[in-house]
Amino acid sequence: MSEKINLVKAINKNVRSGARKANLVLNFIKGKKADVAIRDLEFTRKKVAQDIKKTVKSAVANAENNYQYDIDDLYIKEAYVGKSIVMKRFRPRAKGRASPIKKPYSRVTIILGEKKTDIKQGVKK
């Protein structure tokens, strides 16, 4: 009776944003249906939301192409972010000194699951 559940994953390895800033947007879309999450990310006023939307669309395309899942049944099971590279730049300051500037990158991971609904009974499985 136990069925093997395929998790559909998409990873965006170089998002030009800090991990804490991206995590705010990811917490906003966790648990939502995939199409609702894409719509919400379209109107979010954060720069990182466009990169996250691109990653969600990639995960949906992976699910549709590789596993033949129905787009209407997909939801965002997990969404998390981790640190990636940090570019280090220097800004000139007074008296011949220099101060460092850190430009962090993030790694966004989106994992989709599938909620099947019976049309006859309208019950989620």
pLDDT of residue 4: 60
Percent of the chain with pLDDT over 90: 80
Each residue's pLDDT tens digit, 101-120: 999 999 999 999 988 766 65
Please give the C-alpha separations between residue 12 and each of 38, 51, 62, 88, 113, in angstroms, as whole numbers. 16, 8, 13, 21, 18
CATH class of the domain defined by 8-114: alpha beta
What's at 71, amino acid-wise?
I
pLDDT at 5 over 90: no
Strand order in the sheet with 74-92: 8-15, 98-114, 74-92
What is the pTM assigned to this prediction? 0.85
Pairing outcome for strands 8-15 and 74-92 = unpaired
Report the pLDDT averaged over residues 17-44: 95
Q: Enumerate the domain spans of the chain.
A: 8-114
For 21-48, b/e burial (b = at least 16 CB within 10 A) is ebbebbebbeebbbeebbeebeebeeeb
